[in-house]
Structure 1
């Protein structure tokens, strides 16, 4: 009976949207092609499989909800369980510390594609493409500076690490027949006043030039800024201005993390500027709350505006969407599902926006009509289209996934402690 109600509600919604010139079937087809890059670190609080030490380098996972993944098998199991509740076919984003090291310690300047062989096989078996990240935090040589460190021995260690990560990403892309996007983010900065900002940024630029000297065909580089990290509040070497300039001048993808900007900044507004000067943009979607940038994504104005701007820029094929939050205070699989589905809901609303009519109003200086239609579009029955999208993808509709996640917790994750 519920399926019948979903279909009936969708037919009404389809007619309602058709009245303003929008095709709901086309919107669902477009959403089906949008792949999220699910972040592996939500399942285990950014611990990885290299060591059991605490996080360092300006980041922190908060909370101690029971049942986190303790090894590579449990993490993979959790990722697949989360993906089973998310409509569509998505990617998996790995940090270097999630390699399959076989119980042996492999320092980060020695990592090789063989340490991700089992990941590549697993991904192929489950039709899940891989993305990748170098890992500069939580290491004895992290300190406050890595690629911008004046100490050549430290700097060379991280340069070699990042070069090897690019080689791993290249192998991943080659094996999966689709470019692996490798993100470069470092925590480098200072807790207090810095009087030689130029020096560290010049060192970072030179390190990046050395890292990117080798060109690859099966991977794509992206560089990510941040406002600050814990214990590094006063100065960030790889700032937004730095990486925007570097990306534009070196034809690199720039990563915009929605939690890495000042609260009053609009990340959505940055897209149209960046896309004029760089080939593509990578998004890390999270939810900032005061100083913490990594709360679970929800369907709020910031995420909705971001998705609308992607569509308005006609950039669905140039903007890659990844998630980047780690909430250890609630069920981790549930956090995956909430954030992923919230992002998809925002994208669906963006795809259903009557853009042609709105642009016509704008071109004719019909400000009243534009604002009125924008407001009325907010209350159109997009949720009925979302329910149909979930139904077509054979995933739980509405709140049904809550009970499923609770069942998995009772049967699996609760028994890990």
Structure 2
């Protein structure tokens, strides 16, 4: 089955507005999405001593076939990547170190514990990103890490973050593409604090110590991630948006925006243009909050489209680093990766097919009638035919046909775990 005829017809619709569809597809093919490994095993990791999931994070569901080790997780990722158009990245957490069954605490992890990941990434032409894991550990049981009043606990997590940044630099050197090493902490209080400042002073001092160790920015890019509230930190989070935005700008770090880390009525799409005005680059973790930071699988909703529109219309494709962050154990985990990642790519394609310059001119002219009319009409332009063509030339299944391959993989592989 070919989509050439429908593609050519759809292409004509867009080109009458000056949209270069072929160029849009080339641009789309150059945008890597950093796909999070933790969807495949419910953020379990490979540590020899398992801790309960904590830090305000929860994964619900018990769908069969969860990855139990590095080989299974990499196999599952390969299957997902084979059904997603484009060339992408994989995002790791520190808990995915492979230590040959030996106990290695997080402050002692080394690049060699991720050698299998690097070899696999080389074989598949992938970049790797990284995150220190400051949750699900006995030294994070009270919900405090880098802002902890206990100096020894703070130092443990400082050492963990420094070790993680060294690993990120190792990834960049080995793979020839810089690693984004992102620090997020769960620190906060369930009830209203009597002192908001002191924990933030400690967090700033901890971060300053972490970043005293210099890594080469050609290989490692540092980012810090904010949050508004979480389970167990409903009233106060130490690393708020204002804290990390200020810290990032003062210290030449990237500020990472997670779509689930703000008030339920607040959107990050509206923040992107402002962030780009004052920052060279911005990093994203794209998720789908439903009631709180629930990290549902990304769907092609209005906010996802708006995020992509802000990236494309502001010529920021190379300035916004896009990662995903969701986890759902109630459905096939590989399907979750594919659905979410394909939707992120669809949103970017949708944005690339809009005549932004003309719409900007209409706004400057005050011609809001034509602007609104065109924005609404483009919502029903034959976008699907362009998407099908992109999948076809990328040698991945069009439309829902990818689901058949996942079902076969589930029957042959996942059901036997």
So what's the TM-score if we normalise by structure 1? 0.98
Q: Secondary structure at the match of 1:279?
A: coil
- The aligned counterpart of 1:52 is 50
Q: Secondary structure at the match of 1:259?
A: coil
Q: Distance in 1 between matches of 2:10 and 2:211?
A: 49
Is the 1:191–1:233 contact (alpha carbons within 8 Å) kept by the matching residues of 2?
yes
Is the 1:68–1:332 contact (alpha carbons within 8 Å) kept by the matching residues of 2?
yes
Q: Distance in 2 between matches of 1:365 and 1:71?
A: 58
Q: Distance in 2 between matches of 1:247 and 1:34?
A: 24
Q: Secondary structure at the match of 1:212?
A: helix
Deviations 1:320-342 (A, max 9, x none): 11110010000000000000001
Q: Distance in 1 between matches of 2:229 and 2:75?
A: 33
Q: CA deviation at 1:315?
A: 0.6
Q: CA deviation at 1:150?
A: 1.3
- The aligned counterpart of 1:80 is 78
- The aligned counterpart of 1:195 is 194
Is the 1:38–1:322 contact (alpha carbons within 8 Å) kept by the matching residues of 2?
yes
Q: CA deviation at 1:121?
A: 1.2
User: Within 5 Å, which residues of 2 pair with 1:168-247?
Assistant: 168-217=167-216, 218-247=219-248
Deviations 1:106-133 (A, max 9, x none): 0011111111112111110111110000
User: Within 5 Å, which residues of 2 pair with 1:178-327?
Assistant: 178-217=177-216, 218-327=219-328
**Is 1:107 aligned to residue 105 of structure 2?**
yes
Q: Secondary structure at the match of 2:139?
A: coil
Q: Secondary structure at the match of 1:220?
A: strand
Q: Distance in 1 between matches of 2:51 and 2:362?
A: 57
Unaligned runs of 5+ in 2: none
Q: Distance in 2 between matches of 1:108 and 1:227?
A: 26
Number of equivalent positions: 413
Q: Secondary structure at the match of 1:94?
A: strand
Deviations 1:211-246 (A, max 9, x none): 111222210000001122222211100011111111
**Is 1:7 aligned to residue 4 of structure 2?**
yes
- The aligned counterpart of 1:413 is 414
Q: Distance in 1 between matches of 2:89 and 2:131?
A: 14
Q: Aligned-residue CA RMSD in angstroms?
A: 0.9
Q: Distance in 1 between matches of 2:159 and 2:396?
A: 43
- The aligned counterpart of 2:32 is 35
**Is 1:17 aligned to residue 14 of structure 2?**
yes
Q: Secondary structure at the match of 2:289?
A: strand
Q: Distance in 2 between matches of 1:358 and 1:231?
A: 45
Q: CA deviation at 1:369?
A: 1.2
**Is 1:118 aligned to residue 116 of structure 2?**
yes
Q: Secondary structure at the match of 1:293?
A: coil
Is the 2:286–2:324 contact (alpha carbons within 8 Å) kept by the matching residues of 1?
yes
